[in-house]
Every structure is written in structure tokens, then in C-alpha cells.
Amino acid sequence: MNIAQLKEIISRYLAGKASDKETTFINEWFGRALKDAEQVPVTEYTETQRIEVLGNLHAAMNKDHKIIWLRWVGMAAAACLLLLAGYTYRFELLDITDPIPMQKVAAMKFQVKKIVLPDSSVAILNSGSEIIFPVRFRGNKRNVQLNGEAFFDIAQDPSSVFAVTAPHIQVQVLGTSFVVTDGTSIPAASVSVKTGRVAVTTDEKKTQLSANEGLVYDQLNRIVNIDKHMDVDIEWTNKQLVFNNSTLADVFREMEKLFDVKIKVAKPAIDTTKFTGAFDTGDSLDGMLKVISLSYRLTIEKSKSGTIMIR
């Protein structure tokens, strides 16, 4: 990002030709620029310019609580933005001019999936969950989006905040491990902390949680409940496949996908038999089939072609 690119963005904004993304960014940035400019140490060299620019900014911001872009105000604001842009907001500007590609990973039904994020943090998705994250993190922010349930073990980096944004809550940390459960079809979002500390934001209210503490947010009634003594359940993170009252047809289908094999049943009644259980990461196909056969007194046969017959 260079000054020429920044000038182009501001010029488009002042001319009313900026994109929605650019307009939103500049509007938010303008407000932050005003606050930041007020905190800049005053020197004899900058005092006159500082008072003039701040006066113009205040005039622009205060009239009807809107940004009124008169020509002279626009020029003063643009000058102020240019002075501040070189360092403070370089990453936000890069996100507009050179966006980083995003990646989506989903754990399908019955699956538990482990993902190593660009900063070496680990996310383990529970069945039916998905996560969106950039192929690399930029600047002092590590932002991911979650829909569903995931356990996070965050790589420590004091200079870079890690943030998980879900449909109803946001969690911010520097380095810790925790579980987030929140999705568009989940009635009550929750966060439980295994190690370290996190900050959870709900409806603009921020709550601090420490290890073995949890939060449940009822989004319908906007009620937050805190549990100060929570036993954080992460046993599911060691599983590879999880079934809850699922048919054996579903179980065999997942095994076929996982091990690239063909499984057939001798009787239709076998397919409709219900199964509840889980298989750990690293469990072999033979081990899984043995559990099924012993549970239902079934016989496992393997043909020369590799097809598995269940009788």
C-alpha cells in the first residue's frame, strides 16, 4: 500500500464514487483518525497545523452528527488521513487494495476435523461445523469466522489478537484454549475456557472468562449466564467419527469415504439398525468393524476384490 493508492481511495470517496467497502472503511477510519489526532504529542512544529486540522474535523463531524464533506473540509480531512495512514491503518488499507484470499473448511455430518491455522493455532471442528479464515494473517489481527462448534488452541502472540466471530458472539484472545459453540441454528451460544483468559462480546457487552469458566448467551432473551466452575468437555476433539442414533447405513457410508472401501450388507434390516458411538482418531477400519460386529452379532467378510460384506 502506498500514498498514491491511498489518494485514489480518498479521491473516489470525496467524489462519491467509492465502493461500499471503501465508503464504510473511510467513514469508520475518519472517526478513528479524529480520536487518534487528538492524542498525538504536540510539538512547536505541528501545533498550528494540528489545531487547524482538528478544528475542521470537529466541524465536519458535529454538524447534524454526520460527516459533511464541504470542499475545504474534505481537503483538510484528506490531509489528516494521509498523515495518519502511513502506519496506523496500513493493514486495513491493504485489506481493500490487496485482499488476502479466504479459505473455508467444514466438518461434514458425523465428522470431527482438525485444522492447523496460518499462525500454527489449532481448530478442531465438531460435526456439521465450518470455519472461514485467510490463507495468511496480516498485521496485528488474527480473525476467523465460525458457524457451529470448535475447540481452539491458540498460538501465543502478544502482538496479535486472535478473534473468533460467530453469528451471535465474538471471542478475543492472545493465547489460550477454549470451546466456542454458536451457529445460525443454535438457540444458545456458549464459550468454555480450558486454559488462559478470553474476552467474550455479546450485544456490545464484554465479559472476561478465565480457565474452567463458561458463558451461555440466550440470544432470544439477550441474557448472559456465567458458570464460574465449569468442567470443560473436550473429549470429542479426540474423535474421528461421531454417531448419535444413526443408522448403520450412515456409519458404513462414512467408513467407505474415510478408508476408500466398498461395504455391502446382506440384509436391508442391517442398514436400518441404529448405532450410537464414536471412533477415535487413528482407529483402524478393522477396529471399527469389530466394534460393529460385536455390538450386533454380525459377521464381517472380505472378498478378494476388497469389498466388505456384512452379514
The full DSSP string for 249-272 is HHHHHHHHHHHT--EEESSHHHHH
Which residue among 200, 215, 233 closes a domain? 233
| Same-domain pairing of 110 and 140 | yes
| Same-domain pairing of 197 and 287 | no
| Same-domain pairing of 201 and 188 | yes
CA distances, 223 to each of 8, 191, 219, 226 (Å):
45, 14, 7, 10
User: Is the pLDDT assigned to residue 127 strictly greater than 70?
Assistant: yes
| Same-domain pairing of 149 and 168 | yes
Segment among 20-29, 70-79, 155-164 with least mean pLDDT: 70-79
CA distances, 37 to each of 9, 24, 200, 207 (Å):
20, 20, 29, 30
| Same-domain pairing of 127 and 87 | no
CATH number reported for the structural domain that contains residue 156 in this entry:
2.60.120.1440
Residue pair 155/120 in contact (Cβ under 8 Å)? The answer is yes
Confidence of residue 258 (pLDDT cuts 50, 70, 90): confident
Distance CA 90, CA 96 (A): 10
Mean pLDDT in the chain? Answer: 81
| Same-domain pairing of 129 and 222 | yes
| Same-domain pairing of 157 and 201 | yes
Please name the helix (run of DSSP H) or strand (run of DSSP E) that holds residue 103, with its range, or none: strand 102-106
Give how many domains the chain has, as a whole number. Answer: 3
Which residue among 233, 257, 273 closes a domain? 233
pTM over 0.75: no
Residues 6+ apart with CB under 8 A from 293: 299, 300, 310
Q: What is the pLDDT of residues 165-199, one digit of tens each?
A: 999 999 999 789 999 999 988 889 999 999 999 99
Res 31: pLDDT: 67
Domain with 81, as residue range(s), is: 3-97
Which residue among 73, 97, 121 closes a domain? 97
| Torsion angle of C-alpha atoms 216, 150, 127, 282, degrees rounded to 10 | -140
Residue pair 115/105 in contact (Cβ under 8 Å)? The answer is yes
Rounded to the nearest angstrom, the gap between the alpha carbon of residue 154 and the centroid of all alpha carbons in its chain is 12
